Structure 1
Amino acid sequence: MAAFKPMPDFALGPDVPESGFVVTELGGGAYGVTEGMVNTMFLETTNGVVLVDAPPHLGGERLLAAIESVTDKPLTHLIYSHAHADHIGAAHQLDRSGLQIIAHEMTGRFIEEAHDERRPLPNVTFTGRRETLDIDGTRFVMDYTGDWHMPGNLFIHVPERKLLTAIDSFTPKNPPFFRLVFSAHVPAYFKAMDQMLEYDFETVVTGHMALYGTPEDVATNREYINDLRRSATGALQTVDLQEAAAAADVPGNNKQAELKVWMDAVVARAAELMPAWDKRIGGTDIFLTDNLNAVAWSVAND
């Protein structure tokens, strides 16, 4: 079994009490809620509460308890950031009488095709790049800028609160999760970091672990993935496919094995070329080779 380094203190969030959740005030009636593995946010408006996602790790009961810890107003709106069950799979546990469930139409299509009762279909959808909603005087700007995580993924901006929600974009103080957070299209993932920094925000909610980020955290993630790309590019320029196949004694008629051992060699060389990052983000050893593999194939093919 692989031995992993302990996470540094700066990459850890708050301790979770017996209630099973921590609520953090984000300003202007907005709150973050986490149980340590996932996080999301809700915002109190004049007449109710707007919630982004309903992660199963928090569950409907704890989500409602988190909301009730700061307000007695009812849940009126639920915005789906995207279709993945690890972020909206507890939506069926919420009281949906009168609840507006809002999503991009592509998210609705994915949920419909999944036939998953845990993920109720949205009853308000939109197409195109941008939808702006005024909910009790609070403006929510929902942008679909490309498939940086999956089709239908949204940036949800609350301009007057300087708050951005970008679920599964990155994790503050951590490297990206497995293969750039399962990015559907690696160039779009790189572009998404630039797009995020075009918004006016002070806090970003990103969906995993217990920390909320800042524009500086977005810039740090962008710098890290650019180092991944530079290292992968350098390795691709120096590792020869035929030499890698010969070194691994691959049979001459096994072309898929040739590609496998070549990319393994590229990733190993790229890891050697990566600058040290462990003073700035925690867990650099966990997904380094997975992320380099995704970036290297993208550099080679995209």
Structure 2
Amino acid sequence: MSDMTKPHWLVDDLGPKGAAFIDLRDFAPPPENSHGSLFLPDRIEKGYHVEEIRDGAYWVSVGWYDCMFVVTGRGVVVLDAPPAVGERLLEAIETVTDEPVTHLIYSHWHADHIGAATMFGPNIEIVAHERTRDLLARFPDPYRPLPTDTFATDATLDVNGVKIELSYKGQNHCEGNIFTYLPKQKVLAAIDIASPAWVTFRDCDSSENLAGWEQAHHQVLEYDFDTVVSGHVSRLGNRDDVVEGVEYLDDLVRYARQALETIPIEYFHTGMDGPYRAAFRAVEENYFAALVNYVTKKVLERKTSNGMRWEERLNGADVLTKHNAFAILEKTRLERTHNGYLRRDGTPTSDKFFI
């Protein structure tokens, strides 16, 4: 891109000081089963796609964000209100029912999923986990009204006989992030956890507790569901999609620990006794680069359970795995055992100890 056509805000001359840009051609061709709503005629024409999942439960997707609503016969219950969907969600609801929206469920407190909540007006019931309310009260946002009803562990919302089970199993993507389950329809919303046919967004979707986020993937499989709504990635998922995602995540976790137990940071100390002795951050950068590259190579070269490699199975696996590898590596250091510690003489209590 020449300077004549480059926008003023585009900074691309920082070299190692800045973030690298990716060319679209650097990505492997995405698997067709990951396309989802991206190329559906109604989404392209109207900007959104609405689809009945089963028995009055509907999915709305704009190709990057999605959400869900349920028609009960006495009002509509909505799960999440992403700003990227915005009032197109209202339009989608109006295409299938004239019932008013009576309830809104917050999956969690993040603005990218509930930041359009005020469009429903003040006269609805908003249900969320108690930690979601605490966080919204601490960091107020006029577009995210405080919940009117909260729960601690489990709750069942019953609207005209339509049951929606809400469950909090502990911090995962963030505090207060819940599972929303429709037992009759066998639909489970696992927002910012499941990512059917795609790798999760970089750094494991900026999840706060990677041990909990990893655990949540396995908790999804404890439900009796046919359809999973993820909040992202342009398509609905099924049990096989979740099992596939668990296999990819398990690879990341396994190779992250292997890398930490294999690669010594001391290798990168060369030159520390010279004029660059203050540049320990350079040692850290190179150490983590080695860790990330080790994990990325192992994950992408492995033939998976169906004989294919991950870039053939999951959209974005080839380019985004390095970012997710870093997140898993760093959270392994923070949240998991280091296999011991250093003795007084500087020797480790285990040959698999890492810093």
TM-score of Structure 1 vs Structure 2, range by shorter chain: over 0.9
Q: How far apart, CA to CA, are the structure 2 residues paired with 1:162 and 1:91?
A: 26
Q: How far apart, CA to CA, are the structure 1 residues paired with 2:181 and 2:271?
A: 52
Q: Which amino acid aligns with 1:182?
A: S
Identify the match of residue 283 of structure 2 among 258, 272, 296. Answer: 258
Q: How far apart, CA to CA, are the structure 2 residues paired with 1:191 and 1:225?
A: 10
Deviation of 1:92 after TM superposition, in Å, equals 1.1
Identify the match of residue 9 of structure 1 among 28, 32, 42. Answer: 32
If asked which structure has higher relative contact order (CA below 8 Å, sep 6+), I would say 1
- Provide TM-score, normalisation by structure 2: 0.80
Identify the match of residue 297 of structure 2 among 272, 285, 297. Answer: 272
Identify the match of residue 218 of structure 1 among 223, 238, 242. Answer: 242
Q: How far apart, CA to CA, are the structure 1 residues paired with 2:180 and 2:320?
A: 27
Q: How far apart, CA to CA, are the structure 2 residues paired with 1:286 and 1:170?
A: 19
Q: Which moved more, 1:251-260 or 1:278-287?
A: 251-260
Instruction: Kindly indicate whether residue 193 of structure 2 is the aligned counterpart of residue 145 of structure 1.
Output: no
Identify the match of residue 103 of structure 1 among 128, 131, 135. Answer: 128
SS in structure 2 at match of 1:286: helix
Deviation of 1:247 after TM superposition, in Å, equals 8.1
* 1:102-251 map, 5 Å: 102-127=127-152, 129-246=153-270, 251=276
Q: Which amino acid aligns with 1:13?
A: G
SS in structure 2 at match of 1:300: helix
Q: How far apart, CA to CA, are the structure 1 residues paired with 2:44 and 2:200?
A: 27
1:250–1:257 contact (8 Å) kept in structure 2: no
The aligned counterpart of 2:82 is 55
SS in structure 2 at match of 1:285: helix
* 1:4-43 map, 5 Å: 4-5=26-27, 6-14=29-37, 15=40, 16-43=43-70
For residues 176-206 of structure 1, give each alpha carbon's deviation from its aligned partner in whole angstroms, at most 9, with x where no partner exists. Answer: 2121111111111111111110011100101
Instruction: Kindly indicate whether residue 324 of structure 2 is the aligned counterpart of residue 299 of structure 1.
Output: no
Unaligned runs of 5+ in 1: none
Deviation of 1:45 after TM superposition, in Å, equals 0.2
SS in structure 2 at match of 1:41: strand
1:11–1:173 contact (8 Å) kept in structure 2: yes
Q: How far apart, CA to CA, are the structure 2 residues paired with 1:131 and 1:189?
A: 21
Instruction: Kindly indicate whether residue 94 of structure 2 is the aligned counterpart of residue 68 of structure 1.
Output: yes
SS in structure 1 at match of 2:313: coil
Once superposed, which parts of structure 1, at least 4 consecutive aligned residues long, lie more than 4 Å away? 247-250
Q: How far apart, CA to CA, are the structure 1 residues paired with 2:72 and 2:156?
A: 16
Q: How far apart, CA to CA, are the structure 1 residues paired with 2:323 and 2:227?
A: 28
SS in structure 2 at match of 1:24: strand
Identify the match of residue 109 of structure 2 among 64, 83, 92. Answer: 83
1:244–1:265 contact (8 Å) kept in structure 2: no
Q: How far apart, CA to CA, are the structure 1 residues paired with 2:185 and 2:132?
A: 26
Q: How far apart, CA to CA, are the structure 2 residues paired with 1:247 and 1:208?
A: 46
SS in structure 2 at match of 1:232: helix
2:293–2:322 contact (8 Å) kept in structure 1: yes
Aligned length: 299
SS in structure 2 at match of 1:23: strand
Tell me the percent identity. Answer: 38
Deviation of 1:252 after TM superposition, in Å, equals 3.2
State the structure with more CA Rg.
2
Deviation of 1:250 after TM superposition, in Å, equals 9.3
Deviation of 1:95 after TM superposition, in Å, equals 2.5
SS in structure 1 at match of 2:310: coil
Deviation of 1:237 after TM superposition, in Å, equals 2.5
Q: Which amino acid aligns with 1:115?
A: P
Cα distance change of structure 1 residues 247 and 267 upon mapping to structure 2, 3 Å threshold:
farther
Q: Which moved more, 1:111-120 or 1:38-47?
A: 111-120
RMSD of Structure 2 on Structure 1 (CA): 1.7
Deviation of 1:115 after TM superposition, in Å, equals 1.9
SS in structure 1 at match of 2:197: coil
1:233–1:299 contact (8 Å) kept in structure 2: yes
